[in-house]
Homo-oligomer: A and B are copies of this chain.
Amino acid sequence: MTTSLFTTDPRTGHRRDTGIVTTDAAGVIAVTAAAAAAFPAVRGSSRAWRAGLLRALADGLDRHRAALVEAAVAETGLTAARLDGEVSRSAFQFRLFADAVEEGGYVEAIIDNAGTTALGPAPDVRRMLVPIGPVAVFGASNFPFAFSVVGGDTASALAGGNPVVVKAHSSHLVTSQRSFAALAEAAEQYGAPAGLVGIVYGQQAGALLVADPRIAAVGFTGSLSTGRILQDIIAARETPIPFFGELSSVNPLIITPGAVRERTATIAAGLFGSVTGSAGQLCTKPGIALVPAGEAGDALVDAIVALAEASTPQTLLNERIHEAFGDIRSRLMEIGGARPLVVSRTGGDGFSRSADVLEIDAAAFSPAAAEEAFGPLVVIVRYESVSDVRAVLAAIPHSLTATIHSAPAEGVLRRELTDTVRDVAGRIVYDGFPTGVRVSWAMHHGGPWPATNTQHTSVGVTAIRRFLRPLAWQDAPADVLPEELRDGPATLPRRVDGTLVLATDA
């Protein structure tokens, strides 16, 4: 049985029927079966073919850009400019991954020729990473493109040679449907097998998807609580599968005494912009700022307060986020020792909030003050010493990022802080802000639990590794080897008998 799904304009709270219905059990099976049927052809395709596919998908996004942005504006409350940039980012990502697939290093090809070793005669062994199988992707509320149907999980799964089935996020259903249509159309025009991309709608369909035996891995960006539910479904499967969850992050930002003196206004403006960009609904929002006690720190705090007081309410993504943010900000305000400096206002009929600024002394800081508030709120922690900073960091859940603002002359302190934050984060940002994650080869968007649950990234080229598994061939005749592992000139970098060898035509 299917039920109709509604979408809400977060600016007005107005609900409307999307015409989309929930995917029932038979529907989920149909989609995963199609993905499984497409798998042999996709994994058997050449790297050049897959690179072309990814570029065709990018072109498809560009073609449908206007309709995509229009749908997302209505469903997310984000601005058209931000959403247009996000479509560009998604298209850029497909194209970057196409370059990576063409280059081929991501398969980690290794050839050990047969020979005599210190342990005696040894066989020929050749290894590379191969596609894992159909991947389930869960769209995120806060990135209707870059972390949803056309986002990083989809791009990395497809780049790796896997079909994808997306669970559309309930708060941007029409956007998801249009995104899927753009992908499916481009894939079909390129000649990709039917079933390469699929989509399901509704919470129950998402649960069935994760439990489906045809699904080989799951990519998820969302809350810790939903992540735990999906992890439990996986644990109950006959065959457990990898679950890549990007779950939670408060992203501490530390400002040294030198930095606060030298760059008061710049840091205040940058920090406030990073806290309130996209209404503070970013996984990398710096939720906790450590500011030195004393006059220079006071000036920085005053500048942030002034910016917050002058700011107007921004629309939050949906009712659930709006309510949860309201609850969490209230809890934070009531923590012992907390000083609310700016109390947010709501505005209009929809789901909106202006910025909250909360101050607390390091001595009063506790894990309760480190709850992630998914909205425009910053907790400013005033510290006296590096040991204060260490104590505060120890009370904060591990994060995707940690940021250090220091003065050029503070080398010793900078190294000390770097040594402290490297254990609690996956990316360390210097003299900048953690939001605005670069999509590139080196980017790491992941971190120690509970930031993510694995030793992998969900942004950047190395995100492809999540959807691959190693396979080795021993004493294999050339006729069964993939092109990447055959003797002779190679179109990709390989390690041969321990030595890294660049592509022949590099």
Q: Which residues of A contact B (CB under 8 A)?
A: 40, 85, 88-89, 92, 99, 103, 105, 108, 110-112, 117-119, 122-123, 125-127, 130, 132, 235, 239-242, 408, 411, 414-415, 418-419, 422, 426-432, 434, 438-444, 446, 448-450, 453-457, 460, 462, 468-477, 479-480, 493, 495, 497-500, 502, 506
Contacts and interface: CB of A to CB of B under 8 A. Distances in A.
Number of copies of this chain that the complex holds: 2
Q: Which of A108, A422, A462, A471 has the most CB of B within 10 A?
A: A471
Contact of A456 (B241, B422, B470): B470
Given A440-B125, A476-B430, A477-B430, A419 B471 contact: no
Contacts of A99: 498
A480 B418 contact: yes
Given A240-B453, A456-B470, A88 B119 contact: yes
A298 to B, nearest CB: 27
Contacts of A460: 127
Given A123-B438, A414-B479, A438-B122, A470 B498 contact: no
A12 to B, nearest CB: 31
Nearest to A239: B449
Contacts of A408: 477
Contacts of A427: 471-474
A6 B291 CA distance: 58
Contacts of A479: 411, 414-415
Contacts of A419: 40
Given A111-B442, A449-B240, A498-B441, A430 B122 contact: no
A233 B221 CA distance: 25
Contacts of A499: 506
A123 to B, nearest CB: 6
Given A92-B119, A500-B502, A125 B443 contact: yes
A460 B112 CA distance: 11
Nearest to A237: B449
B476 A470 contact: no
Contacts of A454: 242
Given A112-B442, A428-B480, 9 more contacts: A40-B419, A110-B462, A112-B443, A408-B477, A426-B472, A429-B474, A432-B475, A434-B474, A446-B470
Contacts of A123: 429, 432, 438
A336 B114 CA distance: 43
Contacts of A127: 442-444, 460, 462
B431 A448 contact: no
Contact of A118 (B92, B118, B443, B446): B92
A474 B112 contact: no
24 contacts: A85-B119, A88-B119, A103-B498, A103-B500, A111-B442, A112-B442, A123-B432, A125-B440, A127-B444, A127-B460, A127-B462, A132-B455, A242-B455, A426-B471, A427-B471, A428-B471, A429-B475, A430-B474, A430-B475, A430-B480, A441-B498, A442-B495, A457-B470, A500-B502
